[in-house]
Amino acid sequence: MAVEKKEKAPKLADPIAASYEVSTQEMIVRSQKLGIDTVFDRAVAMKPCNIGIQGICCKNCAMGPCRLPLPKGGIEGEDTRKGLCGATANTIAARNFARMVAAGAAAHSDHGRCVAEVFMSAAKKETDAYKIKDTQKLLAVAPHLGVATTVEEDGETKDRDLDEIALEVAEVALNEWGKAEGELLYLKRAPQSNYDKWVKEGVLPRNIDREIVEIMHRTHMGVDQDYKNLIKQCTRASLADGWGGSMLATDLQDVLFGTPTPLQSEANLGIMKEDHVNIIVHGHEPVLSEMIVAVAQTQEMIDYAKEKGAKGIQLGGICCTANEILQRHGVPPAGNFLQQELAIITGACDAMVVDIQCIMQNLANVAKCFHTKLITTHPIAKMEQDNVIHIEFNEHYALEDATRIVKMAIENFQNRGTDVMIPSYKATQIAGFGVESIKYHLGGTFRGDYYTLNDNIINGRIRGVAGVVGCNNARSRHNEVHIKVLKELIKNDVLVLTTGCDGITAAIHGLLTPEAAQVHCGPGLAEVCETVGIPPILHLGSCVDNSRILLAATEVVKAGGLGSDLCDLPVAGSAPEWMSEKAISIGHYFVSSGVYTVFGGQIPTSGAPVFHDYISKELESIYGGKWDVEPDPIKHAWLMIDHIDRKRKELGIDKARERVLMDMADRQALEG
């Protein structure tokens, strides 16, 4: 008798174990009831490769993949592991790491290039949609690109024409990606001491594209086989990201769309409204989403939505496109990276508009189960599924494209099913911080700089500053590591600067309000936050805006009293739930800029202990920063706090003192 084979029920995620956040838990339950798999279920069903996770699988040629697992009990004596060509575990792990840096730096920098091209169109006045909005920022940026803002005429200094400046800025900026000679211009924005180290090590990036291409060359079979030399190239490429592509993206976006200033908004899936047309923008580049925001707010579109039975239009964001339009327009994020499928599973998402990066292909499968129009907009990021609509962004027709998309969403409102479930959770947040607004809030009354921040660090009310950034990762409980790290830091008087999905997470859990300081902070930080009316965690924007963290730290050095190099500062970096290659590039430019940087989960270096030791110990003696890894959130935060305390001791400010306003002579005495 034939035995009937029973189909095994797929393993599903336990909603409570999968997320630290209630609306996410509720939506996981809903997705499972509806039989729709999400990333949380797939993470249970598929385990990561144990060799790949350690960074020791080489698939760079067709003789492999060669896998070099660590022997049980570790390496005793000489490490004899090698691939077919003889590549050691160090070479393989360093090559894999370098390719992650290349991909991450490419993603940020190509985003920057796209913005620079739109900027050029605006400067040439080829488009009505984009104009130079923030002329102050244009004038602030121009000198860093060697563009003069004044001209000598008849013995007089006169302001140059703004259009002329914009055009020259556009030309010089675009040239940074591929110029034949010289070095990246923004490197000189770093403290002199950091710049000098890069010169000494010979790691000044020559242009953005070249450093990324060179990683791909060096990691080809049979080229660079010295992990130290490979890491040198990682430094060049990642600096070309942080102090190049990302910084240009931030600056040019600010000039085009406005420099963010603090504003109030909300966050979480609960921002979606059942009686409104819900449009979710997702990805990273704000060039089209800026237009969608503009179009969705027109009376014509609001009236059209009403005509179709809705009460209005609710815009929301996911990932860093969300952060971009949050920072400049107060549009609320509907969720972070791991919540993207859930926004559609509400049944109330009339259109999801995606551009580039961090977009899960499974969105298309989820959208098939609902009425949601899933619209790709970027020529380099399409999806194979046939329910996906492609409306390609073109800066010359951006307003028309945006209008078409918004209309499509409005017309889709009436196709909604009755099975809608929007979780009720959302939190208030104050976002929109940046180098300029920190200056305003934490600068002196008459001195537009960072003196007050420095004074509060010196007197110990603020113990130090942490940059906490980065993704979610379905291999750890959604949001938990972020929130526990953040709370431990602020509880111990560490002021946090955040970007990316960490920023969205902090907002969702209510940490981005001034009131949060009284509940969660140590007494020193709470007092500062109360006095100036800021949250203990300042949201600086998207992942390219990590460049704002570099520049804020540089301002702290410039204000004096805390050393002369970024590595002197009581500062640390963290990516508690990282997952993307961009995070590795960010981590490496933080480290190369002198910042002690801790990652959660694992980094793919553990299978090559010598290489791992090199980046987590020896690099400190070269750049002042180094990598570290700690999955436990409390230990993770304390690695950072201990580092901050060490730096305070080195600066001679380890004893908290009564606040004294110091003049330049006092500061110089401290430094001496």
Q: Which of 145, 248, 471, 538 binds ligand BF8 (CB under 6 A)?
A: 471
Nearer Cβ to ligand BF8 (194/499)? 499
At 498, is the secondary structure helix, strand, or coil? Answer: strand
Concatenated DSSP letters for 26-95? HHHHHHHHTT---HHHHHHHSPPPTTGGGT-EE-SSTT--EE-PPPTT---SS---B-TT--BHHHHHHH
Nearer Cβ to ligand BF8 (524/600)? 600
At 273, is the secondary structure helix, strand, or coil? Answer: coil
Nearer Cβ to ligand BF8 (27/543)? 543
What does DSSP assign to residue 271?
G
For residues 400-439, which are near ligand BF8 according to CB under 6 A? none
State the CB neighbour count (10 A cutoff) for residue 621.
Answer: 8
Residue 268's alpha-carbon distances to 272, 423, 524, in angstroms, are: 8, 9, 30
Q: Which of 207, 235, 580, 605 binds ligand BF8 (CB under 6 A)?
A: 580
Q: Which of 497, 501, 552, 569 binds ligand BF8 (CB under 6 A)?
A: 501
Nearer Cβ to ligand BF8 (289/412)? 289
Concatenated DSSP letters for 174-234? HHTTT-SSS--GGGGGS-HHHHHHHHHHT---S-HHHHHHHHHHHTSTTS---HHHHHHHH
* Smallest separation (angstroms) from ligand BF8 to the CB of 323: 7
Round to whole Å and give the CA distance between 518 and 528.
10
What does DSSP assign to residue 429?
E
* Smallest separation (angstroms) from ligand BF8 to the CB of 542: 6
Nearer Cβ to ligand BF8 (104/609)? 104
* Smallest separation (angstroms) from ligand BF8 to the CB of 3: 46
Tell me how far the alpha carbon of residue 239 is from its chain's centroid.
Answer: 15
* Smallest separation (angstroms) from ligand BF8 to the CB of 305: 28
- 163: Cβ contacts below 8 Å, ≥ 6 apart: 123, 125
Round to whole Å and give the CA distance between 132 and 127.
11
Q: Which of 20, 177, 198, 337 binds ligand BF8 (CB under 6 A)?
A: 337
Round to whole Å and give the CA distance between 231 and 235.
6
Burial class, 2, CB count within 10 angstroms (exposed 0-12 / middle 13-18 / buried 19+): exposed
Concatenated DSSP letters for 525-590? HHHHHHHHT--SEEE--SSTTHHHHHHHHHHHHHHSSS-SSGGGSSEEEEETT--SHHHHHHHHHH
Nearer Cβ to ligand BF8 (457/549)? 549
Q: Which of 295, 320, 354, 526 binds ligand BF8 (CB under 6 A)?
A: 320
* Smallest separation (angstroms) from ligand BF8 to the CB of 587: 12
Round to whole Å and give the CA distance between 249 and 141.
12
Contact between 267 and ligand BF8 per CB under 6 A: no
Sign of the dihedral defined by the CA atoms of residues 342, 344, 349, 355, in that order? positive
Token output for 82 = 């090698």
Residue 295's alpha-carbon distances to 48, 302, 305, 407, 601, in angstroms, are: 43, 9, 12, 10, 41
Nearer Cβ to ligand BF8 (456/476)? 476
Nearer Cβ to ligand BF8 (43/471)? 471
* Smallest separation (angstroms) from ligand BF8 to the CB of 333: 10
Nearer Cβ to ligand BF8 (145/319)? 319
DSSP-assigned beta bridge partners for residue 57: 67
Nearer Cβ to ligand BF8 (450/599)? 599
- 636: Cβ contacts below 8 Å, ≥ 6 apart: 481, 485, 574, 576, 598, 600, 630
Q: Which of 478, 548, 582, 626 binds ligand BF8 (CB under 6 A)?
A: 582
State the CB neighbour count (10 A cutoff) for residue 5.
Answer: 6
| Cβ–Cβ < 8 Å for 289, 148 | no
Nearer Cβ to ligand BF8 (239/501)? 501
Nearer Cβ to ligand BF8 (570/576)? 576
Q: Which of 335, 500, 535, 561 binds ligand BF8 (CB under 6 A)?
A: 500
| β-strands 351-354, 373-376 pairing | parallel
Q: Which of 316, 470, 510, 601 binds ligand BF8 (CB under 6 A)?
A: 470
Nearer Cβ to ligand BF8 (279/474)? 474
Nearer Cβ to ligand BF8 (398/501)? 501
Nearer Cβ to ligand BF8 (197/482)? 482
Residues touching ligand BF8: how many (CB under 6 A)?
Answer: 13
* Smallest separation (angstroms) from ligand BF8 to the CB of 84: 34
* Smallest separation (angstroms) from ligand BF8 to the CB of 413: 27
Nearer Cβ to ligand BF8 (580/605)? 580
Q: What angle do CA 495, 643, 97 make, to 5 degrees?
A: 100
| Cβ–Cβ < 8 Å for 502, 482 | yes
Q: Which of 239, 358, 494, 525 binds ligand BF8 (CB under 6 A)?
A: 358
* Smallest separation (angstroms) from ligand BF8 to the CB of 357: 6
Q: Where are the beta strands (DSSP E) in 121-174?
A: 150-153, 156-159
Q: Which of 18, 129, 279, 319 binds ligand BF8 (CB under 6 A)?
A: 319
* Smallest separation (angstroms) from ligand BF8 to the CB of 55: 19
Round to whole Å and give the CA distance between 159 and 10.
68
Q: Where are the beta strands (DSSP E) in 312-384?
A: 313-318, 333-335, 351-354, 373-376
| β-strands 427-431, 263-267 pairing | antiparallel
For residues 601-620, which are near ligand BF8 according to CB under 6 A? none
* Smallest separation (angstroms) from ligand BF8 to the CB of 321: 8
* Smallest separation (angstroms) from ligand BF8 to the CB of 483: 15
Q: How many Cα atoms are found within 13 Å in the side-chain-facing hemisphere of 651?
A: 32
Round to whole Å and give the CA distance between 510 and 331.
17
* Smallest separation (angstroms) from ligand BF8 to the CB of 469: 7
* Smallest separation (angstroms) from ligand BF8 to the CB of 57: 23
Q: Which of 543, 562, 569, 641 binds ligand BF8 (CB under 6 A)?
A: 543
| β-strands 388-390, 373-376 pairing | parallel
* Smallest separation (angstroms) from ligand BF8 to the CB of 546: 9
* Smallest separation (angstroms) from ligand BF8 to the CB of 98: 19
Question: Which residues are at the interface with ligand BF8 (CB under 6 A)?
Answer: 284, 319-320, 337, 358, 470-471, 500-501, 542-543, 580, 582
